[in-house]
Structure 1
């Protein structure tokens, strides 16, 4: 395995890849639809490869990547914001998945060693005319193994053995919980009976010690508990008879398996986990975790690793939801399944496009008609009614009727399931946009408390705290949400951009706005116009103002628009002044 520093521009040493080979390897990865990385991680990969090929590899640091790739401000603190470390781990998993499937015959492979952001390149000896189809049922099932480590020292095992009694009690309590999970047969509403099944197989012990076995058992229970917090999936512990009976007759849209293993080495715990599409055996996601082990905080180590895995899999814009939305997009049936309809609504909420609003609301209305006890559909319907009012979709200039319909749908969701985080978030949004800010905050906090692993709940709360003048608490929540979301929706950034504007940090504001300045809501266009005016960019200011003025919601008046989004009068005055300057810059007055 080599880095570009091992080669010259005129050739290579031995059989080492040349720079042309390395760039070709990058192009192959980025051009493949089987490379599952989102746009942000693709940019991450391209950036570190190009910088390394240019001879700047030794200067690749987390700070530089955070600023140049992820748009963080120059006061970025890598100790408090782990975005680069998290995205690097996900990018390694993306590359592993690609090279395990479509890229298995690529002549040169790219890797990112742990503890570094400098990519390495290695030639392969795989014969390209004998590929193994990734979805071939005859192909051997991938075996998850941890990195090689020496046998754990026996003294750690002896140190952990006294904790066995405590772990037994934890696991015994978990046994009661697991029985409840097993007994959750596919009953209830029609849509709930079609929720995707997620089966968590018992994590394996990758080492011979008792400590590895205890950790593996604890990880299984902790992960099931965390996944159960997400309402959009049905979680099962592995029991072949019960799971087989539940899955076989349910007609589920998807069936997933989570597998993993745990290895305790010295004073470190290594966890490796994968998500498979159980019907095709395809690996959809994999990740490895490394945690220092302090025997007095054993359950904390389990909880932290389980939290990260559950967040990646179960969140609104996580691995499972993204896979389901891809399935929904390929379903051209007129009467789409109720569950997939909710997933399409989540997809719409990424961009709030006017053109996709009506098909989504039609689908949700049909869903609650045929399945009136489906809380998730009522919650999404409430949110979508709210959008018609706050964004003036389909010419709705008077938001009051839409807000009234939104409240009725969201309250119906709460009646059906008072602890449903989606229902709480939906009703919180209605309360916020009808001026009940205190209740909106209480509901948002309740949603975040019920599922602290849901980045969308953190983002909703953080966004509103920042907008309402509490950036000290709100900004860290937004940053946590962004760091833990595979591909954050654009609106996660708007409160941060507004905060940078209020502090006069136009350069940082510009980095954020440039990535999210085009949408149907008006907020992005307004922020783009303001920052263009502040930086004296006349053409950009003119274009942004034209787009902003064409947004239906802005036709109610800019001040009205921002006030209805909860912005205080002092900030509204600053926005109006910023837009006034943008108009002068656009017209050439200044």
Structure 2
């Protein structure tokens, strides 16, 4: 095959011509016609190059000039340009994979610059007897117009004794074994997890039953809108707008129905609202709540926010009902995600590896699911916390962050995608990025108690105590059923503020599944000491030291480092342990 030589490399004018011609072909292709955002991005990068830009454009320019972001865009916080350039890179690869090309456009990894990649001729089909040539394509990082070294020609020579025959036989045997192994894994996964994703439960919200007066109908419409707005924001419930007709196929019928009734009392300017959640299959009521709306509560109906969170939350009434009915179902899709959330709330890792397997099976079937990517990322961050300082821990962290980036890339408009990246930024020490993306996630789902709680933790660790405490309280207000770490942290804040009774009241409501957690033991010890119950407090501390496998005289900082990530939290907690008398001031 003829090779391109140094003298054949196009000059700058020819390079610009190639870029312009390739751009016209790309922009007219169906792939780019269906992707207007990536088409605009490609146009911007090409025009920057053709205008004589000597360096790659900056992320800020890409965001504001090509991607429509506002002038206050902060590239240090938002990775949107990098994500979109990554998508453009993938789309270019897809286009050229189906095109016989001599010159192609490429955006090298780690760069925002358009470059040209050259090769001598389009690839031709080779027979098994042809000489195999190495380096058919020049390196992708060769800038347009640069001189690339001619690739080496490597002929395959037969060794004495017919070694190539044995080599091919060996390769054939290995290939057969690999195919067999792949078949076994695929077949085994099918038996373990099934071939289809388990869909999210379908929830139907009935039209609120109310009076016939105009004010009553207005209240009903407002309440219906608030309920639908909240329920649609959760990932583990699909919302249906109206009751299915009688002839609807069984697979398309709702799994749950939320009945809403309003009784308005004119003289008292109040309305009594009743919510009843029914399981459609057997028409059984599994949850109900009644509350009053008075005065100015009715225009916004914020009083129903707790009901929304409790019904549709990641470990809400619907998820718990499904788990109760199918406790051993780890099938990909909803069933696996429900098991994941049960594991989180029950604070047990018994089924962690089985859940990891079903999450990976879920992603095998839908690699772009931000909810599953977010869940697996969180699971791997949990592995990292247990293995910090080891090669396995480093590998877990790297995969967790990569999964978070994929969740954001595939779901930047979802709370799951945004919060996955918020968590990754926080664990990487990027408070600004973590808080900004966490706030974006909270705006996408302001009804999620779990999200509010962990964003509160992030803000506390990032030295935003007032905002953090408010979010922790919001988390408990939305759903105090399974408060966990956010509740324990709020108890610590109340104790630091001098209200030991309020702190102990919060701790007393924490489910037993969380009372074995080291954070709970630490905070309870501090509160007990401040209530004057020092022997009990020190007994809890000794238990915590033993749990972390530290020496009896270990400093609080050393003990806390075994289960707390943030240095700020470690410093504050150690000071509280000393100040309360749980440990002596001289402990080191």
Question: Where on the TM-score scale, by shorter chain, does this alignment land: which range?
Answer: 0.5 to 0.7
Match of 1:483 in 2: 477
Match of 1:136 in 2: none
Shift of 1:342: 0.6
Residue deviations 1:247-278 (CA, integer Å, cap 9, x gap): 6236x9x8001112223321323322211001
Select the residue among 170, 195, 201 that pairs with 2:200.
195
> Does the 8 A contact of 2:541 with 2:582 survive in 1?
no
1:318 aligns with 2:316: yes
Q: Secondary structure at the match of 1:549?
A: helix
Select the residue among 301, 304, 308 that pairs with 2:302.
304
Matched positions, count: 384
> Does the 8 A contact of 2:522 with 2:540 survive in 1?
no
Change (3 A) 1:235 1:505: closer
Change (3 A) 1:425 1:497: same
Q: Which has the higher contact order (CA 8 A, sep 6+)?
A: 1
Shift of 1:397: 8.3
Match of 1:72 in 2: none
Match of 2:424 in 1: 430
Match of 1:457 in 2: 451
Calculate the aligned-residue CA RMSD, in Å: 3.6
Residue deviations 1:201-226 (CA, integer Å, cap 9, x gap): 21222x24233233324433432222
> Does the 8 A contact of 2:529 with 2:582 survive in 1?
yes
Residue deviations 1:122-177 (CA, integer Å, cap 9, x gap): xxxxxxxxxxxxxxxxxxxxxxxxxxxxxxxxxxxxxxxxxxxxxxxxxxxxxxxx
Q: Which has the larger radius of gyration?
A: 2
Match of 2:339 in 1: 344
Q: Secondary structure at the match of 2:405?
A: helix
- Of stretches 538-547 and 337-346 in structure 1, the one that deviates more from structure 2 is 538-547
Select the residue among 536, 542, 547 that pairs with 2:539.
542
Change (3 A) 1:366 1:441: same
Change (3 A) 1:342 1:193: closer
Residue deviations 1:297-348 (CA, integer Å, cap 9, x gap): 96x24x435544423311223222221232342xx35x52421111111111
Match of 2:231 in 1: 227
Select the residue among 261, 285, 288 that pairs with 1:286.
288
- C-alpha separation between the residues in 1 aligned to 2:495 and 2:292? 39
Select the residue among 409, 414, 417 that pairs with 1:415.
409
TM-score, length of structure 1 as denominator length: 0.57
Shift of 1:567: 2.4
Shift of 1:478: 1.3
> Does the 8 A contact of 1:274 with 1:285 survive in 2?
yes
Match of 2:39 in 1: none
> Does the 8 A contact of 1:520 with 1:551 survive in 2?
no
Residue deviations 1:491-520 (CA, integer Å, cap 9, x gap): 122322332454455555455446659656
TM-score, length of structure 2 as denominator length: 0.58
Structure 2: give runs of 5+ residues left out of the alignment.
1-194
Shift of 1:440: 0.8
- C-alpha separation between the residues in 2 aligned to 1:557 and 1:238? 57
> Does the 8 A contact of 1:191 with 1:371 survive in 2?
no
> Does the 8 A contact of 2:548 with 2:559 survive in 1?
no
> Does the 8 A contact of 2:518 with 2:563 survive in 1?
no
Match of 1:388 in 2: 383
Q: Secondary structure at the match of 2:522?
A: helix
- C-alpha separation between the residues in 1 aligned to 2:394 and 2:278? 46
> Does the 8 A contact of 2:306 with 2:477 survive in 1?
no
Q: Secondary structure at the match of 1:524?
A: helix
> Does the 8 A contact of 1:341 with 1:360 survive in 2?
yes
- C-alpha separation between the residues in 1 aligned to 2:270 and 2:340? 42
Q: Secondary structure at the match of 2:281?
A: coil
- C-alpha separation between the residues in 1 aligned to 2:496 and 2:324? 39
- C-alpha separation between the residues in 1 aligned to 2:523 and 2:218? 52
> Does the 8 A contact of 2:198 with 2:332 survive in 1?
no
> Does the 8 A contact of 1:352 with 1:519 survive in 2?
no
Shift of 1:283: 0.6
- C-alpha separation between the residues in 2 aligned to 1:327 and 1:249? 18
Residue deviations 1:405-436 (CA, integer Å, cap 9, x gap): 11111221222221221232232222212211
Shift of 1:388: 1.2
Residue deviations 1:418-476 (CA, integer Å, cap 9, x gap): 12212322322222122111111111111111111111122122222233333322222
Select the residue among 274, 277, 283 that pairs with 2:276.
274
Q: Secondary structure at the match of 2:582?
A: helix
Change (3 A) 1:532 1:293: closer
- C-alpha separation between the residues in 2 aligned to 1:541 and 1:272? 48
Q: Secondary structure at the match of 2:293?
A: strand
> Does the 8 A contact of 1:317 with 1:485 survive in 2?
no
